[in-house]
Chain A
């Protein structure tokens, strides 16, 4: 026999590896097609399991996307004591600007306030009976934008400064509401994380169980393969491919369910948001996220299959029950 060079040996090994894989690839597909009902049911369970965390995740990213007019929400409203003069107000505003440099300072005079109120309230001329304007000087201060923690710190500084000034009666701001919303979103994200972990585990367990039955029904074949010299890897491969298929199909189904849900909810949700004066269309998963979900599904399926087959392969070790 002609002695092989190192390179031809490596090439031949790679080709053999490829052929073994193509054999596993097709035999695993064959098994899935042969047991259509079982495959369908497993895929359905996996699809639903993956749909839950995915659906919640989509809800969250859509909530975050809605324009909450954050600038208005986190403005501090300052009411001066009655009798404060315009000069005094201006002095406070200048000092505030110099010392803490907020994003905006809007000063509303009692007259301007009254005009606004007249327009907005619809009381109109009936307000004329008032002898004098009861409204105080008002100032709206917005902190510089930035990450939540920084904004919170700036609001703290601004409030502290404003409260130290005698001519100011009340400072008021609605930031707490926004803060709570932010916390709720964080909680939602934590719940998504837990769900992803739990349902990911569910995917692994479902696939592991399906493959376990699959392996058991192929016990004879596995034994014979091992007896005629199949390595553990060769025995494992078709099952790993089956697990991979299950994961991919489950992921695909989850996407499909998600798409249908969004189509179904999109209409009513749009109408609801319109009443808040927000024009908004639902955000879907991007291509990279879609691929990521499929990849994760495939990997989880593969992992489930691996766990199941590995448990079985322990029987095939030297000194085991093989061939008895």
Chain B
């Protein structure tokens, strides 16, 4: 699903975010990405979402080589990737349902279909009763789940999360990871960047460890 082949990323000004990183993530698996801050986790996710281009090497996502894809394909790449952000990135002046509906509006679906799928996504994250609420009235954990609903509403084959538990207490974090696991069991590839090492270890999934832009370790899954 995601294949990095000797990928390096240099930012203008010379700072090196990734150096010679290679790995392969299978379709339908759930993988964690850890490392200290500045190790290159965000850069790696940005490359997968085609927010950046690799300076060297090949980034192949969903059988598409992003390194030589033109800019105009970036929106399509992002549409087939659900992204969850640490700061949720919800629109404050739209209801929960309208926020979740955004990717479907962009895809140009029929309104009745949008309604159905938004409700299904909200049901999956357990927020069906908050459909008409404003994001600001929700707790941090709830807002993050709205973000997840938005990411899965268009049923993308790939789900990315950048520090999704950043501001949550351990119990909520565990619930959230369980939700991701459930999503991955339905065939979605899930890649989560997190520095919450204890929690990541508990999940017993494959873990990629980045250190100073290099792939320092690749711990295989131990859940059988």
Q: Which residue numbers of A lie inside 8 Å of B, CB to CB?
A: 15-20, 23, 220-221, 223-232, 234, 317-320, 322-323
Closest residue of chain A to B156, judged by CB?
A: A229
Q: Is the Cβ of B50 less than 8 Å from the Cβ of A318?
A: yes
Closest residue of chain A to B45, judged by CB?
A: A323
| Cα A227 to Cα B75 with chains together (Å) | 8
| Cα A231 to Cα B103 with chains together (Å) | 11
Q: Is the interface of A mostly helix, strand, loop or mixed?
A: helix
What are 18 A-B residue pairs whose CB atoms fall within 8 Å in the complex? A16-B108, A20-B106, A20-B108, A220-B91, A224-B91, A227-B83, A227-B85, A228-B106, A229-B79, A229-B81, A230-B106, A231-B72, A231-B75, A234-B75, A318-B51, A319-B52, A322-B51, A323-B46
Q: What sequence of 0s and 1s flags, for each residue 84-96 of chain B, a beta carbon within 8 Å of any chain A beta carbon?
A: 0100011100000
| Cα A107 to Cα B81 with chains together (Å) | 95
| Cα A220 to Cα B91 with chains together (Å) | 8
Q: Which residue numbers of B lie inside 8 Å of A, CB to CB?
A: 46, 49-53, 71-72, 74-81, 83, 85, 89-91, 102-103, 105-111, 150
Closest residue of chain A to B151, judged by CB?
A: A228
| Cα A23 to Cα B108 with chains together (Å) | 9
Most buried by B among A220, A225, A228: A228
Residue of B83, B102, B105 near A20 (CB, 8 A) is B105
Residue of A17, A20, A230, A320 near B75 (CB, 8 A) is A230
Q: How far is the CB of A107 from chain B (nearest CB, A)?
A: 82
**Contact A227:B105 (CB < 8 A) given known A318-B74, A319-B52, A322-B51:** no
Q: Is the Cβ of B91 less than 8 Å from the Cβ of A229?
A: no
Residue of A18, A225, A318 near B102 (CB, 8 A) is A225
**Contact A19:B110 (CB < 8 A) given known A228-B103, A318-B52, A318-B53:** yes
| Cα A224 to Cα B92 with chains together (Å) | 11
Residue of A18, A224, A319 near B89 (CB, 8 A) is A224
Q: How far is the CB of B8 from chain A (nearest CB, A)?
A: 15
CB-CB under 8 A from B50, the residues of chain A are 318
Residue of A23, A226, A323 near B105 (CB, 8 A) is A23
**Contact A234:B53 (CB < 8 A) given known A228-B150, A318-B74, A323-B46:** no
Q: Is the Cβ of B106 less than 8 Å from the Cβ of A229?
A: yes
| Cα A15 to Cα B50 with chains together (Å) | 28
Closest residue of chain B to A230, judged by CB?
A: B106
7 nearest A-B pairs in the assembled complex, by CB-CB distance: A16-B108, A229-B79, A229-B78, A231-B75, A19-B108, A20-B108, A228-B103
CB-CB under 8 A from A220, the residues of chain B are 91
| Cα A19 to Cα B52 with chains together (Å) | 30
Q: How far is the CB of A150 from chain B (nearest CB, A)?
A: 58
| Cα A209 to Cα B36 with chains together (Å) | 44
